Structure 1
Amino acid sequence: MRRFTTVLAGAALAGLALTTAPVANATTGVPDAGSAPITATAAQGVPLTVDRPVVHPGEQLRIHVEHGQEALSWVSSGAFVRDSDHPMGADEGVAHLVRASDGSADLIATIADVAPGQYQVHGRAGGGPVPGVVITVE
């Protein structure tokens, strides 16, 4: 017979396994209704900001990331022009680095001819995700 502590530990692990993160819409990359809101600051304290939240196809978006001592890997979005391969193979465009110094980076991305809607701008720094922000393409 199993000990009570073993059963209790198993129940706790089962509960953790059933806990899920917000699921993003495959088209827009924006979490579906009922999900936690996307914040402009990553869990590791890496802020990602954009110069404006509403853009149009063909316009350029300026992005700023404070990544500290962590290396910035990439910033991408389904709204960006796909003029190079995504480092992780995602079907998204990647922003181009303009300037990097003292733990911060400035990037620029061109908005693709995509359907109007909301798109997530996110990235990776220091082996962890940068949750990013949501932009609206009109």
Structure 2
Amino acid sequence: MNSSAITVTVTLQHLSKYGVLEFNKRFSDVPVTHWAARALQVLAVKHVVYGVSVDLFAPNAPITRAEMTVLIARALGLKDDANVNAEFADSKDIPVWAKSSVAALKQMGIIQGREQNRFYPQANATRAEAAKLILEVINQLK
């Protein structure tokens, strides 16, 4: 790769067709001067974050525990498995789109419930919960 010439050279031993694509995602409500603009752009390109619509991210909106769990699962590259159960007392309240992420992170020991084995998927995540989740992920990756 020659970044100064913005080229990529590949030597192949077979005949095939290849394409080079560029995916550049920006959210209209996240100015380039926003402290998280670059990180959000990278995470959007990697399909970790999608935003609240095609062109909006809502950077100042609260995030639910279910949403936070899905973001972490995507960042870890975990695959969706609709046949898993998170085994929380309130599992029926976990949105369908979050069930496999919640179950996977619970099985990995990254997330736990609150009192009485409840996950509270629609509750807003606190900063303390986000920090603990990030620390658990770091510990898993060691």
Bigger helix fraction? 2
Give the shorter-chain TM-score range: under 0.3
TM-score scaled by length of structure 1? 0.25
TM-score scaled by length of structure 2? 0.24
Q: Which fold has the larger relative contact order, with Cα–Cα distance below 8 Å and residues 6 or more apart in sequence? A: 1
